[in-house]
Amino acid sequence: MINNCISLPPKALVANWETLTRTFIRPESEEAKETLIKYMEQILFGLQEFLREHVGITEEKSLKELAELFSDASLPLVPEKMLAEVITDLVQDIAPHAVNVASPYFVGHMTAAIPFFMVHLKTITAALNQNVVKLETSKVVSILEKQLLAKIHRLVYQQSKGFYDTHVQNTETALGCFTEDGTIANITALWVARNRLFGPKPGFEGIEKEGVVAAYKAYDIDRSVVLVSCLAHYSLQKAGGILGIGNKNVVAIDVDSNYRLDMDHLRRTLGSLRSEGRTKIVAIVGLAGATETGTIDPLREIADICLEQDIHFHADGAWGGPTLLSGKYKHLLDGIQYADSVTIDGHKQFYMPMGCGMVYFKEPTALDAIAYHSRYINRPGSVDLGIKSLSGSREANSLILDSALKIMGTNGYGLLIEHSIQVAREFAEEIQSRPDFELTSPQVLNILTYRFFPKALKQRLKKEDDKGKKRLYEGLNDINITIQRNQREAGNSFVSRTTLKGTEDWPEDRVVLRVVIMNPMTDIDILREILDEQENIYRQEKRK
């Protein structure tokens, strides 16, 4: 252990049947009950206390030192520790060297503080240990999941009450499914799109059964593609690989100067694919909140093209989907209601614990394209949710989300969204008011990119020839890499870094700093401190 707290247990621990069986049986004595409650207290308050006191992001210990402490690959033969000790170890020795994602200074990624009640809800799902792969191991929980799927489907698609009355508990149809994460949600959406495009026809039993080679032969083509923004999440490339489409056939379309899918480039690409011939389009993906920039593709225009050309339209709202919960900002996602499928992550802006993804389908029968049955579970016509899902066994995440929605109300979630967008707007203004910074993508949602760009360099740029400019750009990228790295290593705050591909307005690739604002405790003062620290890092580096 890190602190070497090897206080030996009073008597050596042995694995015997009696102690083992006791861990499976609810404790009967008052004393044992109290002990168990005390352990939960330690988890709830010990960790909470730690997260409050520990304002930095992580302890100084280097990855190398940590790796050395964790390099013994032997399994314990006999019991080493009792529960109390293990919990203490986790709270005292592991947590400080993990990342304090709950810190309001941790603004680099889509992982942050969660409401305290999520820990209770997560504990309940663990205690119940339902398996929603089938009704026989979940019963009412599967039924509740269908209800919640209908509620979120309604948030996205706004169909009639009659539609939801028909489908909410319909064992034949499915409005969506829960997945482990957004990656699997995106894969599921494209899996459905692929199977529907290459469905059975005379002499061909469908791509799911016969595979890609037979499908291309049956449909007389050589290639199929998915069209995505160059800012699309890399899970879509994984989908291309897994689905046999080939990830080089997940074709990146340029973005315009506002980092939205360039519709002209999309139309030109569709045109040239058509004239090439022998190619089918599996789907066009629109971003409802890009991972790197938070920008939103022109969803309505993409929907029009997809409708016109009969192409599957997938909207990736893994991050941005919950914006629909804000009356003030839901208009930003206008057009999402026309998408054939929509991905939304629970562990992002629904503030759920890791990990929860979801995918919704406009058509209640879309998921039939990936249905699987088995002899011992998931028999045709049952409510078994595992029939139409990539995963097998999985936890009852719907219990957590449904309860969270009851506790927060859509208004509560709406407030969180609105607050973070407001803070992002103030932060964008602050960046623009500082002469040594530059905002590199427009503020749309609550994700921003910007970079350190000293005023003196901005002026010098005007005088440089092409070669000089190139050198200056490279230097600028190095500066931003150094700032981000040094700030991360100092451990007081964290922003992330990415590279934005050149656009028409700015042809060079730019290394930029990236901030994701989702922690309600992150305010403009904290963000100013973060910018100050970045300025200081630059000055220190310059002096070297």
Ligand X SMILES: *Cc1c(COP(=O)(O)O)cnc(C)c1O
Q: Is 93 helix (H, G, I), strand (E, B) or coil?
A: helix
Return the residues of window 127-186 that contact ligand X according to CB under 6 A: 181-183, 186
CA atoms of 530 and 100, how far apart (whole Å): 16
Nearest approach in angstroms of CB 353 to ligand X is: 13
Near ligand X by CB under 6 A, which window of 39-47, 212-220, 313-321, 463-471?
313-321
Q: Give the helix ranges, DSSP H, for 97-180.
A: 117-128, 140-157, 161-167
Nearest approach in angstroms of CB 109 to ligand X is: 9
**In the set 106, 319, 361, 473, which binds ligand X (CB under 6 A)?**
319
Near ligand X by CB under 6 A, which window of 157-165, 285-293, 393-401, 486-494?
285-293
Give yes or no for residue 515 binding ligand X (CB under 6 A).
no
Give yes or no for residue 324 binding ligand X (CB under 6 A).
no
**In the set 130, 131, 291, 534, which binds ligand X (CB under 6 A)?**
291
Tokens of 333: 């996602």
CA atoms of 434 and 437, how far apart (whole Å): 6
Return the residues of window 293-312 that contact ligand X according to CB under 6 A: none
Cβ neighbors of 423 (< 8 A, separation 6 or more) are 446, 517, 522, 523, 524, 527
- CB nearer ligand X, residue 235 or residue 326: 235
Give yes or no for residue 108 binding ligand X (CB under 6 A).
no
Counting beta carbons within 10 angstroms of the beta carbon of residue 411, is it exposed (0 to 12), middle (13 to 18) or buried (19 or more)?
A: exposed
Q: Torsion angle of alpha carbons 29, 31, 32, 38, nearest 10°?
A: 150
- CB nearer ligand X, residue 238 or residue 330: 238
CA atoms of 431 and 439, how far apart (whole Å): 6
Nearest approach in angstroms of CB 450 to ligand X is: 19
Neighbours of 244 (CB within 10 A): 15
Strand order in the sheet with 447-452: 437-439, 447-452, 510-516, 496-500
Amino acid 426 reads E
CA atoms of 135 and 378, how far apart (whole Å): 9
Give yes or no for residue 233 binding ligand X (CB under 6 A).
yes
Cβ neighbors of 370 (< 8 A, separation 6 or more) are 188, 191, 192, 195, 208, 388, 389, 390
Give yes or no for residue 318 binding ligand X (CB under 6 A).
yes
Nearest approach in angstroms of CB 506 to ligand X is: 23
- CB nearer ligand X, residue 334 or residue 532: 334
Contact 423, 517 (CB under 8 A): yes
CA atoms of 163 and 429, how far apart (whole Å): 45
The contact pattern for ligand X, residues 451-490, with x = CB under 6 A and - = no contact, is: ----------------------------------------
Counting beta carbons within 10 angstroms of the beta carbon of residue 11, is it exposed (0 to 12), middle (13 to 18) or buried (19 or more)?
A: exposed
* Exposure of 228 in the CB half-sphere (CA atoms within 13 A): 27
- CB nearer ligand X, residue 181 or residue 254: 181
Cβ neighbors of 324 (< 8 A, separation 6 or more) are 155, 156, 330, 333, 336
- CB nearer ligand X, residue 335 or residue 357: 357
Nearest approach in angstroms of CB 235 to ligand X is: 5
Q: Is the dihedral of CA 348, 350, 353, 357 positive or negative?
A: negative
Near ligand X by CB under 6 A, which window of 89-97, 314-322, 370-378, 472-480?
314-322
- CB nearer ligand X, residue 222 or residue 334: 334
**In the set 195, 224, 235, 441, which binds ligand X (CB under 6 A)?**
235
Pairing verdict, β 437-439 and 357-361? unpaired
- CB nearer ligand X, residue 287 or residue 483: 287
Nearest approach in angstroms of CB 207 to ligand X is: 24
- CB nearer ligand X, residue 181 or residue 438: 181
Return the residues of window 37-76 that contact ligand X according to CB under 6 A: none
Give yes or no for residue 321 binding ligand X (CB under 6 A).
no
Nearest approach in angstroms of CB 526 to ligand X is: 23
Nearest approach in angstroms of CB 266 to ligand X is: 18
Q: Is 450 helix (H, G, I), strand (E, B) or coil?
A: strand
Give yes or no for residue 346 binding ligand X (CB under 6 A).
no
Nearest approach in angstroms of CB 289 to ligand X is: 6
Give yes or no for residue 345 binding ligand X (CB under 6 A).
yes
- CB nearer ligand X, residue 442 or residue 491: 442
Near ligand X by CB under 6 A, which window of 287-295, 406-414, 434-442, 461-469?
287-295
Tokens of 438: 């530059």
Q: Torsion angle of alpha carbons 298, 303, 304, 308, nearest 10°?
A: 140
Nearest approach in angstroms of CB 66 to ligand X is: 24
DSSP H or E run through 437: strand 437-439
CA atoms of 266 and 286, how far apart (whole Å): 11
Q: Is 315 helix (H, G, I), strand (E, B) or coil?
A: strand
The contact pattern for ligand X, residues 200-229, with x = CB under 6 A and - = no contact, is: ------------------------------
Number of residues in contact with ligand X under rule CB under 6 A: 15
Give yes or no for residue 323 binding ligand X (CB under 6 A).
no
Give yes or no for residue 397 binding ligand X (CB under 6 A).
no
Give yes or no for residue 316 binding ligand X (CB under 6 A).
yes
Nearest approach in angstroms of CB 186 to ligand X is: 6
CA atoms of 289 and 77, how far apart (whole Å): 49
Binding stretches for ligand X (CB under 6 A): 110, 181-183, 186, 233, 235, 287, 289, 291, 316, 318-319, 345, 357
